[in-house]
Amino acid sequence: MNDNFSARVHPAASAGVFWVMGDQVMKRGKLEGTGFNVIDVLVPPGSGTPPHMHASPEIFRILEGTLTIWSMVEGGPAEVEAVAGDVVTIPAHAPHAYRNSSSEPAIMMAIVDDGMMGFFEAAASHEPPAGPPTPEVIERTMALTETHGIHILQAA
């Protein structure tokens, strides 16, 4: 029987866990036969991404906490608060960023394509960070953005 026609359960205990720039990423599962990956991202207070864009769309569902979502709108840059239960859709090539501006961790579920998953895995550390990303970690991650088609729009 073809596994592409069978339902699959991805047990929580089997999630791969790693860290990218201070955020904890839990690889929850992949829909076989597609490029869709499901991850949970724990975003510590003060953590987030610089404004950037890439060819792949993304979907975020805020599970806990609040994230500030930055994007470009017709009148220029805008920020909106996304809270638990909210869904954020990011079209391909859309400038965007997120940041946890609160004093509590935030958790989001994200659906990303294989290209973004490849970036996360290439940038991964398998040990929890001792503190904020070091200059060496930032430099290495920024170099990986270029090779994975992610365009940083400005410094964090």
Given a cut of 50, whether residue 1 has pLDDT beyond it is no
How is residue 63 written in tokens? 């599970």
Q: Give the Cα separation of 125 and 95 in Å (integer).
A: 26
Does 121 map to a domain?
Answer: yes
In this prediction, residue 101 has a pLDDT band, given cuts at 50, 70 and 90, of: very high
Of the candidates 70, 24, 72, the residue with the CA atom closest to the CA atom of residue 50: 70
Q: Give the Cα separation of 22 and 44 in Å (integer).
A: 7
* pLDDT tens digit sequence for 49-93: 999 999 999 999 999 999 999 999 888 899 999 999 999 999 999
Q: Beta 66-73 vs 151-152: how paired, if at all?
A: unpaired
The amino acid sitting at 76 is G
Contact, 98 vs 70, CB < 8 A?
A: yes
Number of structural domains the chain divides into? 1
Does 7 map to a domain?
Answer: no
CATH code for position 81: 2.60.120.10
Does 136 map to a domain?
Answer: yes
Given a cut of 90, whether residue 5 has pLDDT beyond it is no
Task: Please report which helix (H) or strand (E) contains residue 92, including its range.
Answer: none
Does 65 map to a domain?
Answer: yes
Contact, 118 vs 149, CB < 8 A?
A: no
Does 56 map to a domain?
Answer: yes
More confident residue, 34 or 144: 144
pTM for this prediction: 0.89
Q: Which domain holds residue 89?
A: 13-151
- Alpha-helical segments (H) within 23-148: 114-123, 135-147
Three-state DSSP at 31 gives coil
Does 135 map to a domain?
Answer: yes
Does 6 map to a domain?
Answer: no
* pLDDT tens digit sequence for 8-56: 888 888 889 999 999 999 999 988 888 899 999 999 999 999 999 999 9
Does 1 map to a domain?
Answer: no
- Biggest CA–CA distance in the chain, Å, is 53
Beta strands in 7-86 (DSSP E): 16-20, 23-30, 37-43, 52-53, 58-64, 66-73, 76-83
